[in-house]
A and B are shown apart, each in its own frame.
Chain A
Amino acid sequence: EDQVTQSPEALRLQEGESSSLNCSYTVSGLRGLFWYRQDPGKGPEFLFTLYSAGEEKEKERLKATLTKKESFLHITAPKPEDSATYLCAATVYGNNRLAFGKGNQVVVIP
C-alpha cells in the first residue's frame, strides 16, 4: 500500500531557529511530491511540487528537496507567521489522487 509518513508530528521552534521536516514515502512509481501549508480550519495551500530526485525548490524561508525515498522541507530562520501544519502528499503514475501524510505541526515562538 502506498504510504506517506511525516516526522516529527509536532515541532516548537524559537523564532530564527532553523529546522527541517521529513516526509518519507513508499509508493510505486512516484509521479510528484507536493508540499502544502494548512492553517487551522482552512484548506491546504500549495507550496511546492518536486518531480525527480535531486530537485530543489525555494520560496522565501522554505526550501523543499527530494531524494528517492524522502523529501525535506527546510525552514530557515522561521518567523511566527510560519506557524502552520505542513502537509506532504504524493501522486503516482496511473492516477491523480494526492496521498497525504498526517502533517508536521510547526509552532514558531517569538
Chain B
Amino acid sequence: EPEVTQTPSHQVTQMGQEVILRCVPISNHLYFYWYRQILGQKVEFLVSFYNNEISEKSEIFDDQFSVERPDGSNFTLKIRSTKLEDSAMYFCASSDEASNEQFFGPGTRLTVL
C-alpha cells in the first residue's frame, strides 16, 4: 500500500542552525502539506503546496520556513535558523484532490538544543 515516508526520523540540532526535513509523498498525489505537533498539543497546519507553489500558509509559517519540491518525488521543509520553540514532531501529508483525505507520514522529531 502506498505511503508517505519521511527522513530523518529524529533530528537534533543546535539553536540557530538550519535544518531540512524530507518527505516523499504518495506518488500520484498532487497536494502536499506540512504540519507540526508540539508535545502534548494539537496538530497544527503549517503550509500547503500545489503545482510547485505555496497555496496556503499559517501564521506559524514565517520567513524562517520554506518549502521546496526539488524533483519529482521529494518535498522538503527548511527551517533557516532554528529556535528552541521549533522543537516538535513535523508531519508531511499528501492528497490526490484538494478536498480528499490527507495521508500522513510517520513524522520527524526535531529537537532544538
A residues near B (Cβ < 8 Å) are: 31-32, 34, 36, 41-46, 49, 87, 89, 91, 95-103
Residues of chain B within 8 A (CB-CB) of A44 are 43, 91, 104
A55 to B20, CA, bound (A): 41
Q: Closest B-chain residue to A42, C-beta based?
A: B106
Binary per-residue interface labels of chain B (50-68) against chain A in the complex, 1 for a CB within 8 Å, 0 otherwise: 0000011010000000000
| Contact, CB under 8 Å: B43 / A95 | no
A99 to B103, CA, bound (A): 15
Residues of chain B within 8 A (CB-CB) of A49 are 100-101
In chain B, residues 15-66, which have Cβ atoms closer than 8 Å to a Cβ of chain A?
A: 31, 33, 35, 41-45, 48, 55-56, 58
| Contact, CB under 8 Å: A102 / B41 | yes
Q: Closest A-chain residue to B57, C-beta based?
A: A97
Q: Between A and B, how many residue pairs show CB distances below 8 Å?
A: 57
A102 to B109, CA, bound (A): 19
B102 at the interface (CB under 8 A from A): yes
| Contact, CB under 8 Å: A96 / B33 | yes
| Contact, CB under 8 Å: B58 / A46 | no
Residues of chain A within 8 A (CB-CB) of B35 are 98
| Contact, CB under 8 Å: A91 / B99 | yes
